[in-house]
Structures are given as structure tokens and as C-alpha cells.
Structure 1
Amino acid sequence: MKTIKLNITIPLIQIFWWRFSLTVLLLSGFFCNAQPVSNLQQKYPGQSEIVTDYVEHYHIDVNKNNQLVISQDNHEESMIISDKGGFSAVESIVFSDLSPIKSYEAYTINTINGKQKKTDVAHIADKKLDRQSVFDSDVKLKTFNYANLTNGSKKVLKYKIEFADPFLLHRFMFATGYVNEKRTLKISHPETVKIDYRLFNIDKNALDISTESKKGITTITLKKENIPAMKSDGGAAGNMYETPHLHFWISEYKTKDQLIPVLGSVDKLYAYYHNFISKINQKESHDLKAFTLDLTKNCTTDDEKMKTIFKWVQKNIKYVAFESGYEGFIPREATMIFERKFGDCKDMTSIITEMAKYVNVPNVNFTWIGTRELPYTYQQLPTPAVDNHMIATYIKDGKKIYLDATDANVPFGMPSGFIQGKEALIAQGSSYIIATVPEVDAQLNNITDVTDISLSEQKIIGKGTYAANGLVATQYRNVIGDNTRHRKEYVFSLLEKGNNKFKLSDFTEKDFDNNEQPYTITYNFELDNYIVSSGDEMYVNLTLDKPFQNDVFEPTRSQTFSHDFLSNQSYRVTLNIPEGTKVTHLPENASFSNDLIAFNFSYSKKNNTVELNYNIQIKQMLIAPQQFALWNESLKRLKENYLETIIIKKNDKN
């Protein structure tokens, strides 16, 4: 399929832990003890830097006010094992008002003439975590620029973070983008505090797990050694699908007077979430109500009202994220969003649900959901780490319509592409329901391309009509937007066919701004140097478009691949047979289907034309590593049909 990759900033409603490094090339003249470095170089060939020791140690306690007090001590050591660069000179700590840094220390250690020399970092700075579409955020980076880095240098970073909210603890990664010699998680807590955890993509037997109790404090230790670096493959579903990691939570804790629940069930999670929505939109907004009634005055059904409201929010409330403290969790008042005309996913949900009340449409609800890069269900992980997004859900006669206005072009009644297949936690007052957002059927995400072509020596001259429906059209509309400057380039990328001699002569668009209709392009084109001639015969390949032909998975790929959506692509190519020639060969028809993909090719001759109809359908969105061989074999079968040609021969002269 001809697609332009969609770059939508996913709205966040929670604070996660990010670590990243900026790679630079530094050279230094220090002479270091080469023996341990040479051992590491032999053990980890091709690596520039490895993490020799990484420890996160959580300390959990209950203060005299019966409140949980949580801090995290971090200790990281890494070693440079290359003199050719490629290592990181900058490390960063992510912090916020909800997880402030209380102390830190960073330095380099070099061994010179058998003695260790410590060098403090050259520069420390606080920076905003620069992310597109984030309007206001208290999430920052504390960056450390290390000095005197060379082959054999050791980087050391120590810091302490406190957690203002016991519901928002970080996940622990047992693997990263670097080789790790050892990674350790420790959780220390009093006997009055109950801790639970869940492992993902790793078995307990692969870890060294121990528990120690001393002076009323229990310490759980989970350790893993000799961990290879995790790769990042293109089109990956998300790092959490394969990376071994752990989430832990506080289930409950005892005080002298009571047992206080925290997390560990969906009921507890919903109770936490419900606090964020229970006190908003309590006062009626006269202006918003009057506007909503006027907006829907010609609507006769609840469906028409909700469609009108949803489309208005899509087009008139600009998506801008807020991630400052609890602003990342609590929706704003609908009247404020109406006045400002911008907001994040929670704010769009707030105004949609409130406008629904004003026109007496029942059961339009706040809904929490994780986008597709998060592989968890609510039963697997009943903590705020399970989701990162909020939408509204309209329920009528048992049917659920998911309203995600952060996608400005998704049609009413169709979920946005990045929440398909995910569980949704739908508020129902003091209770809730969990439902799974359906994947949009491939037939609704349809592309049709109908072309009529003629031959002119070695050139093809053609005209066509291209139409995109469903989430395919949504993706194109989101990417192209109102960018008139590069519009022809975008359209060219959709229509390009045959070879690099394709020339788009002209095109006309229809219904680009109407997401209830297919996005349609009529066009004229030329394709030079495409016909292969031999003697009095011409060989013509009618598969001018060849979707997926280059999408074979490499043997080194390890991450689950994700299609943006299921899709169905239909092509019809009609060739006008030149006068004085005849068709002497048509390829055989073919069809194929398995769990991942289906395709068929059908050739026919009628009067002075040859017609090829072919169709390719993607049947599964996620392709797991164990299915890579099946996908590659399927593409091999598909490409065999792409190579077929018809043969046209000049008529014999009398």
C-alpha cells in the first residue's frame, strides 16, 4: 500500500520514566588499564559502551500521618570499551513535580598508571523535555555532560527521586538499548505494606530473586545478568511487546486504625481514576449549553446530535497536551475548553460528555484507554501504567461508539487507528465497564485504483481514479492536512507506479475535507521505459502497483511488527491493445490466503482490451516474531504474481 507514515503525537495522561542518551564522538589521551577493557571487547564485540551495573532501590515507608513515603535510589555504572566513538557523553534523568530529584552525583573514573582518577561532569543543566504538541509540562531533563571519556573510562551516575503519588511508580526494564552486565531492582518496605508485581516478557526462572527481612523491613531483590542490547526495528508495535520488564504496585498498607487499599485490582484503579472526574462539570455553562442547543437544532436523533457534536470538537478544538503535575490526569472544565478552543485528550472528552448532557443524550462517558504501543489488559496490569489516553464512549442500545477527537479526521462511528483492539475502561458513575475497541474491518479501509492505459512505443500513457476509504483516508488527511506547498509531492507518493520514470501529468482531488466520503483523486500520467520489446513481441507487466513487495522481514528482526490498520486494496488495469497486434499470452489466474494476508489475480481479454483485476488484503494487524517466516513466504508468493507479464505480438504481414 502506498502510505505516508503518520506522525501523530499520542496524548498522554500519565507520567512515565524516560532515559535516553545523546551520542557524540570524544577522544582523550589518557592511558588506561587495558586488560579489563580488552576482556569486555572480546565478550561484547562491536559494542562501544556497556552498562556494568545498574540498580534501582525503592524505599517505602508510612509516616506519622499514615501516608506512604516513597523514594528511589539509583546507581548506574557504564564503561567505554571503544576508542572509535559511538558511546554516550550525555546522560539524563527525567523528573517532574510528581517525581522530583532530591540528590545526584555524576563523574568519570579513569585508571592512569594503575591509579583511579575521578573527574566530575563538565556540565549539568535542566532542560524541558521537548515533545511536539505538549503545551505545558513540568517534565524536565537533568542532563550530565561527562568529561575525559576514552577507551576504558567508567561513567558513574547516582541520584535519588521521591514519589509524590504512590499510584505512579515506574516500571523496571531488565533490558535496554545497551548491553547490560547486571541490572537489579530492590524494593524495601515494612511488614505493614503489601507489594505485588508482574513480569512481562520474562520468566521468574530467568531471574535471581531473593527476599530478606531485617528489623521489620523486607527487601525483595530481582537481578538479571549478561543481558544483550534490545534492538529497535522499524514498524515495531512497541518496545513493551518484547522487552523484559516489571511493573510493581502497592496493594494496601496498614495503620493502627485501618487497612488502606491502594492498587491491585480494576476496582481500586477505577476508584483512583474516578476522583479525577467526579468533581468537574458540576456547574452548568449557559454559553456552552446555548451553543450546543443551536448547533444541534436540526438533529432529530441522538446519533445525529452526537455526530454533530463530535465533528465540531474535531474541527474546532485544537489538540494541545498538558502534562504538568496532575494536569496530566484531571480533565478541565468544559466551559474553559469552549472558551480556549484548545485542550488535550481529557479536555476533548470533557467537552464532548458535557455537550451530550445539554442535548439530553444519555450514556456518553469518560473512558480511559491505552494506545496500541502498550500491550497490557486491565486484568494484567490494574495500575495507571495500563493506559495513556482518554476518549469518550457513546453507548446506545448496547452499541458502543468510541469518540476520539484527537484524530481530527476519523469518521464518526469509527475508532481512531491507534486504539484499535485495546481495552477501554468506561465510566458508569460509581461503577465501570471494560470493553474491547474493535479493529476496523479491512473492507472499510479500502483502496481502489482504476487505470486505463495505452501503449506508445516504450511509453505507457494512462488515466486513473484513486479512492481511499476509512482509516486509510483518515491517515492521508492527517498527513497531508492543509500543506499546499508539498501537496503534489504527497499525492505523487500515493499514485507513483511502474518505475522511477513515472510522471504525474495532472490530478484533481475530491472530498478531501469530507471524512464521510472517500478521498478521491482523478489523474493522468505517463510511464516511460516500461515496455520490454524483443523482435516483434512486447512484454507488458500490468501490475503497475506492487504493494508490500519490499516489506520482507530481515532475519535479524526481533520486534513484533504492527500494521496501522487492516486494509483491502483493489486494482483494475485496463490495457488498450494497439492496432495491428494481438495478445498471445495471458498469465494464469491466482489466489492465496492465510491468517496474515490474502490476494488474488484475475486476467481477462475482451475485444481490444486486456484487463487485470488484483486484490491484496491485510488480515492481521500485529505480526509476532514466530509469524515472520509465514509473512515472508506469503510475500514470496505475492511477488511471483507481480512478475507475470502479458505478451503482445505484431500481426503477421500478408
Structure 2
Amino acid sequence: MIKKLQSFFPFFFLVFFSGTAQSTKQKSYIAEKQSSYNITVKNNLPSIILSSAEKRWVGDKDDKSILGNRINYADSFEKVFDIEAYSISPNNKKHKVSYIGTEDREIGNIFVHDMKFRYYTFPNIEEGSQTYSLYKKEYQKPQFLESYYFKDYLDCKSSRVILKVSKDIEIGYIIQGNTSNENIEFTKEINGDFTIYSWQMVNIEKEEKESSSPNFSYYSPHLIFYIKNYKNNSGTQNVVGTIDNLYRFYAQTIKDINKQDQTQVKEKTAELITGLTKDFDKAKVIFDYVQSKINYVAFEDGMGGYIPREAASVLQKKYGDCKDMANLLNEMLRYAGIESNIAWIGTRHNNYTYKNVPSPIVDNHMITVARINNQDLFLDATGQYSLFPNVTPFIQGKEALTKIDDLKYKITTVPVIPSDQNKTNGKLKIEFNSNSLIGQANFNLNGFLKTQFISTYKASTDKNEMLKGYFARFIQNIQTSNVDIKNDDLSQIPLEIRYQFELDKWIKKTDNQLLFKPILFFPYSDARINVEKRKTPLENDFKKSYNFEYEFVIPQGYTIDFLPENFNFTNAFFTASITYKKVNNTIIINQEMTMDTLLIEKNNFETWNIAIKNITKQYNQNIILIKK
């Protein structure tokens, strides 16, 4: 259920800039962009009209990002009109856009949707040209308003949003994102029957998406506004703006679902739980069935992007999106006699809470919440290989708005899965063979690490190549054989990987010494953050931990000349230790690491790097064996 509440970058123009093309190409930039909303009551309903305008200055005419424009809209809820676009050359010649097309947006794996865009290309673009884009948009559903992001994909001289609100309408608003180093000028004034709100930023650097960044909602400054209520001939009408109003809207959208005959749903449920007596076991087989047998196919067409389809229909067709799967799962759990309800939730893609943003913008997903043994289980069947009763990684720490009845709801927070439940345990027995190490390895993957491996492994058409790449993540020149995988299923039993390996040229050999690095696996060795260049936070999918035990058989005729000192490190993000000891004719090494954070803000980059530096230094420690 991906809401059609896109961020967008509106347009306006400043005073006319004149100039000539430069001998060296300069960066293009937005001279000014502005979105002006006129919010009134017409025909007893809210009327929201956006007037959007933008002016760009063209530096590099070969930069494809400035050659044209796209106006995104949801066809079921929004109407775009009065589009005007033209360019002005450096010698003041005006060139109007002659063709404006309409296309369906390509949105990931969404099968059916109503998202479209209008597009055009500016004619006769030269270096030093200016482009002007203007349009209007009418919002036909007052609950579904967009966010305004002040920053853009180009540097921007001025970015402004204006709300002109009738006295018959009460709005709410909030600035989200990281504004600690930003200056947003806000004004509010009364003009007759209207209140005019204005926010403006000037001289703004472009916003960039970096690898492993969270969504823009975490750090890019943006305005969210919503209509709380309006007055018409029947009195005051609530829209959203409070959690109660938001829930009432949600409850209204689903009040007519599951009216079809559900005999097949009941029968399938009874079949699945035959012989089971515990609610936990019943819930698991039902969850596993919906997760594995119902294919995820996204539908975002009109209110179909918000209203679950009939449970009976989803079961029969064997496909549906998140809300369809949540609805079917919920109905089957109820037929099994388990307390269960559907819930709206925003994934980690949305950095909002219901208190701060009581609007549909807060949510983009739907799950099922079952109550078993006095505990809430947050069940998301879209994960495909999620291990019951685990949550999916992308809803960790998020609030769920759970339906109780048409008037009652509750808000609960999905737990963040601790690192010790997402653990890799590895045991390696290793011997020396000339300049190589040979051995046997046994690895157990738990929690999200098991799910992650299975997802990749099952989807791979060449499983040998997939495994080769998996092992090479740690040591590139390792040679593996006799790989055996067990428990690649939906149980909580750890996935087991056994294999034999050879690691060539790992030993430095002299006449009477053997020198080698005993640590063979280097979690986070490449995770140092470039503090000077990186501008955005760093996001991890989930917390995780590692525990490797190495058993090196000391070659006959050798004894230990040097063992590194034991190592321990702890800070806000990592805990790590490496211990060394001799046991009879073996060297036993225990390597442990815990990564315990989901988000690293810019002011914590150095703390993160300090941990990486200290830990990876230990990866390069050597053991020296000497001939007796």
C-alpha cells in the first residue's frame, strides 16, 4: 500500500536574468521555485488548488536533468491543468513548449496504479538560457495532500511555499527533516477572510542521495500540512489532523470489506490447523501459508491503494498486495480463534509518528497484529521468507495503528530486533598445508541473516555462483568445496552451511618460522565513513552480531613464538573482542562482534569510524610459529 503522497518540487520565477553563454560550462541551478496553495470551501467541500512555478538557469545544456520537466499526479485524486512552459534564450528570444505528453509512471513492482505524469521538453536550450514551468493542480481528496521539500536536485536560490487558507478551514502543519543548520523564514498574516502562511529558504545546496542513506524524510527539510476541519452548511466537518480523525477516516475506508462468502477461507483455515492445539502453532502455519502461497502484487489504483480486497478473492486468486495479504491473514487467524486485527503502519521509509503527523502521509503499509499469550505479534506476510513470529526489517521501531473496532484503536511500537537474534555463528577447524590453510567450516545463520540468505539463495538461478560470491564477501581467493546447506526453510532453526575450504598464499614461511593472520572474516572492515564527503545519515537494515571460533592445529615440529594480546572494545555502536589461547596442540581464537544501531547521524560519524579503526586493526594481527 504505497501512498500516492509523493514529494515534489514546485516552480516559480524570479526577476528576469539576462546573460550570455559562458566559455566554460557552469552548473545549472533553480533561480526560484514556489508552490502557492489556495485552500477554501466551495460547494460545501474543501477546495485545494496549487499554483506551482519554477525558473531554472541553464549552465550545461547537455545536462539531461534540465532539458525538460515532469509533473507527477494521482489520476484518481488530482487534476493537473493550465500548464505553461517556455524557455528564453540568452538573447531574449522566447520559445514555447509545443507538445505536452501524458504517461503512466513506472513504479517498481506495482502492477496496477493510477500514477501518471505530464511531461515536456524545452526547445532551443542554450547555455545561459532560462526555463519557466507553471501549472496548477486540484486536490480532490482533502486527506491526501503532498509534502513540500525545500531542497531539490539542483542548487536553488529561493524555495518558497505559501498557504492561503480561508477562515472556514483549520489546518495543521509541521516542518520535518534536519533543519538544525538550515534557515527557514516563516511568516503568518491575516488578509481579509484568509490567513496566509509562508515558508522560505534561500541559497540552498542541492540534495543528494548517497548509498545506504535513509529516505529523504529523515534529513531533507520539508513541510507537511493537512486540513483538520472545515465549516459548511451542515456545521464543522473533521478531516484529519488528530489521531482520532485519522483513524475514523481509515475505519471508514474499510467498513465494507469482507462481504463476500468466506466459506473457502474458513475451510482452508480449518485444513491448515488440523491437529494443532496451541494458538502459536496455528498462527505459524497460517502465516507461513499466506506468506508463501499468496504472491505479492501491488495495486495502487484510486482507493484501491488504501482499501484491502476481499479475503475470499485474495485466497482464490492467490495474489494481492500488503493490505490484501494482511486482510486475508487477519480473517484466517480469526477463524482459527485467535485474537487478531489489521493495522496501518509507516515503514522506516517514513520518518513520522502519529502524534507529529496525524495524516495519511504517516502510513505506507499494512500488517496484521495478533495477540497470543498476552503478547502482540506484528505479522507482515510480504516478507516471503520471514520467520514467524519475526517482524520484517523495514517496520522495526515503527508505530502501528491497530484496529479494534469502528471507533477504537491502539498504537503500539514494533520492537527493534536485538543483535543477538540476528547472529552468525561460525566454527572453523584449520590445518596447515605448505603455504595454504585448509579446513572445515560450519556456520549457523539466525533471524534476519537467515532470511536474507534464503531470499538470495532461493531467487538465484545459479546457486553455485551465488555461494561463490557469498563466501568471497569475506575472503576473495578462498576456494570452497562440498558445500552443504541445511534448514533453508521457514523455521526458527538456524540455517546451517557446512563446507571445506582452502586458502592459498596465506602463510609467510621462512626457514624456521610460519607467520599468518588467524582472523579470516572481517565484518565491517570496509564500513568506514568518509566524514569529509558524506552529508547524509547512514542506515543499517538491522542490528547483527558475529561469533567465530577458529581452531588451528599447530603443525608438528612447531611451537608458538608469538600470540597477539587479547582485544576488547566497546562504544555506542560496536562491541568487539578477540581472545587467543593455546589448548594442547591447537590455538583457539574467539572473535565476537556486535553492531547495535540502525541509524548513524552525521554528528556520530567519528564515533562510528573510531570503532571501525580499532576493530579492523585487530584483523591484521599475526601469529608466529617457530620450529622447535
Q: TM-score range by the shorter chain?
A: over 0.9
**1:336 aligns to what?**
313
The answer to whether structure 1 residue 95 and structure 2 residue 73 are counterparts is: yes
Deviation at 1:240, TM superposition (A): 1.2
Paired residue for 1:349? 326
Write the distance in 1 (CA, Å) between the matches of 2:9 and 2:236: 39
Describe the superposition over 1:524-546 as per-residue Cα deviations: whole angstroms up to 9, x where unpaired.
12211221234422211011110
Paired position in structure 2 for 1:419: 395
What's the counterpart of residue 24 of structure 1? none
Q: Partner residue of 1:558? A: 535
Distance 1:142 1:350, change over 3 A: same
Out of 177, 197, 201, the residue aligned to residue 224 of structure 1 is: 201
1:13-24 → structure 2 map (5 Å cutoff):
14-19=3-8
- Does residue 252 (structure 1) correspond to residue 229 (structure 2)? The answer is yes
Specify the alignment match of 1:322 in structure 2: 299
Pick from 364, 367, 371 the counterpart of residue 395 of structure 1. Answer: 371
Structure-2 change in CA distance of 1:280 and 1:497 (3 Å):
closer
Q: State yes or no: 1:631 paired with 2:620.
A: no
Tell me how far apart the structure 2 counterparts of residues 478 and 264 of structure 1 sit (CA, whole Å).
Answer: 40
Please give the alpha-carbon distance, in whole angstroms, between the structure 1 residues aligned to 2:9 and 2:525: 34
CA shift for structure 1 position 90: 3.3
* Seq. identity, %: 28
The residue number in structure 2 matching 1:479 is 456
Structure 1 partner of 2:404 = 428
Partner residue of 1:28? Answer: none
Q: Does 1:75 align with 2:53?
A: yes
Report what 2:348 is aligned to: 372
Opposite residue 51 of structure 1, the aligned amino acid is I
| Partner Cα separation in structure 2 for residue 370 and residue 47 of structure 1 | 41
- Are the counterparts in 2 of residues 208 and 224 from structure 1 also a CA contact under 8 Å? yes
Match of 1:495 among 471, 490, 507: 471
Query: After superposition, what is the alpha-carbon deviation per residue over 1:103-157, rounded to whole angstroms, capped at 9, x for unaligned?
Result: 3122222122xxx112233653322221232110110122222232231121221
Q: Which amino acid aligns with 2:428?
A: T
**Superposed counterparts of 1:451-600, under 5 Å:** 451-485=428-462, 487-496=463-472, 499-555=475-531, 556-600=533-577
SS of 2:618's equivalent in the other structure is helix
Tell me the distance in 1 between the aligned counterparts of 2:442 and 2:370: 36
The C-alpha deviation readout for 1:329-357, integer Å capped at 9, x for no partner, is: 00111011011100000001111111122
Letter aligned with residue 15 of structure 1:
K
RMSD: 2.2
**Structure 1: distance between partners of 2:410 and 2:515:** 60
Q: Partners of 1:20 and 1:530 in 2: how far apart?
A: 54
Is 1:63 equivalent to 2:42 in the alignment?
Answer: yes
Indicate yes or no: 2:26 matched with 1:50: no
Cα distance in 1 between the residues matched to 2:147 and 2:473: 46
Check the 8 A contact 1:458/1:530 in 2, yes or no: yes
What SS does structure 1 have at the residue aligned with 2:381? coil
The code of the aligned residue for 1:61 comes to: T
1:105 aligns with 2:84: yes
Change (3 A) 1:245 1:139: same
Quote the Cα distance in structure 1 between the aligned partners of 2:116 and 2:624: 65
CA distance change for structure 1 residues 251 and 85 in 2, over 3 Å: closer, same or farther? closer
Q: 1:304 deviation in Å?
A: 1.8
Return closer, same or farther for 1:288/1:86 CA change in 2, 3 Å cut-off. closer
Q: 2: CA distance between counterparts of 1:150 and 1:611?
A: 69
Deviation at 1:453, TM superposition (A): 1.6
AA paired with 1:194? Answer: E
SS of the residue corresponding to residue 166 of structure 1 reads: coil
Measured in 2, the distance between the counterparts of 1:20 and 1:88 equals 13
Query: Residue 353 of structure 2 contacts residue 399 of structure 2 at CA under 8 Å; is this kept in 1?
Result: yes
1:508 and 1:522 in contact (8 A); partners too:
yes
Gaps of 5+ in 1: 1-10, 22-31
Of 173, 179, 192, the residue aligned with 2:149 is 173
Shift in CA distance, 523/88, structure 1 to aligned 2, threshold 3 Å: farther
**1:397 deviation in Å?**
4.5
Aligned residues: 618
Partner of 2:106: 130
Q: What is the match of residue 187 of structure 1?
A: 163
Separation (CA, whole Å) in 1 of partners of 2:484 and 2:103: 46
Aligned to 2:13: none
Deviates further, 194-203 or 174-183? 194-203
Uncovered stretches (5+) of structure 2, i.e. residues with no partner: 11-16
SS in 2 for 1:372: coil
Looking at structure 2, the residues matched to 366 and 514 of structure 1 have their Cα atoms a distance apart, in angstroms, of 23
Shift of 1:210: 2.4
> What are the within-5 Å matches in structure 2 for residues 229-248 of structure 1?
229-248=206-225
CA distance in 1, matches of 2:9, 2:506: 48
Aligned letter for 1:101? Answer: V
Partner of 2:620: 643
Q: Do the aligned residues in 1 keep the contact of 2:9 with 2:152 (CA within 8 Å)? A: no
Asked if structure 2 preserves the Cα contact closer than 8 Å seen for 1:77 and 1:155, the reply is yes
> Comparing both chains, which one has the higher relative contact order based on Cα–Cα distances under 8 Å and sequence gaps of 6 or more?
1
**SS at structure 2 position matched to 1:632:** helix
Give the 3-state SS of the residue equivalent to 1:406 in structure 2: helix
Give the CA deviation at 1:425: 0.7
Q: Does 1:360 align with 2:349?
A: no
Deviation at 1:204, TM superposition (A): 12
Contact 1:48 1:86 in 2 (8 A): no
1:206 positional shift: 2.3
- The Cα shift of 1:205 comes to 8.8
Please tell me the residue identity of whatever aligns with 1:361. I
Aligned 8 A contact 2:401 2:409 in 1: yes
The answer for the alignment partner of 1:139 in structure 2 is: 115
> Do the aligned partners of residues 205 and 342 (structure 1) sit closer, same or farther apart at CA in structure 2, a change above 3 Å counting?
closer
The equivalent residue for 2:386 is 410
Could you tell me how far apart the structure 2 residues matched to 1:194 and 1:68 are? 11
For residue 38 of structure 1, report the CA deviation from its aligned partner: 6.3
Q: How far, CA to CA, are the matches of 2:123 and 2:433 in structure 1? A: 67
Farther off after superposition, 284-293 or 596-605: 284-293
Counterpart Cα distance in 2 of 1:497 and 1:158: 50
Report SS of the residue matched to 1:443.
helix
Cα deviation for residue 481 of structure 1 reads 2.2
Q: Compute the TM-score of the two structures, normalised by the length of structure 1.
A: 0.90
Check the 8 A contact 1:276/1:331 in 2, yes or no. Answer: no
1:481 alignment partner, SS class: helix
Residues 579-588 or 282-291, more deviating: 282-291
CA distance in 2, matches of 1:606, 1:400: 47
Q: Which residue in 1 is equivalent to 2:14?
A: none
Q: Distance in 2 between matches of 1:358 and 1:213?
A: 57
Aligned to 1:351, the other structure's residue is in SS state helix
- Which whole-Å CA distance do the structure 2 matches of 1:122 and 1:548 have between them? 54
Amino acid paired to 1:100: K
Aligned to 2:248, what secondary structure does the other structure show? helix
Q: 1:83 and 1:262, CA in 2 relative to 1: closer, same or farther beyond 3 A?
A: closer
Cα separation, partners in 2 of 1:354 and 1:246, compared to 1, 3 Å: same
Query: Is the 1:60–1:68 contact (alpha carbons within 8 Å) kept by the matching residues of 2?
Result: yes
Alignment correspondent of 1:604: 581
Cα deviation, residue 484, structure 1: 3.2
Preserved contact between residue 49 and residue 87 of structure 1 (Cα < 8 Å): no
What is the CA distance between 1:446 and its match in structure 2? 0.7
Amino acid across the alignment from 1:69:
S
Task: Choose which of 245, 252, 256 in structure 2 pairs with 1:279.
Answer: 256
Q: Deviations over 1:19-66 (max 9, x none)?
A: 599xxxxxxxxxx9646x769x9xxxx9632111101111112112x1
AA aligned to 2:290 is V
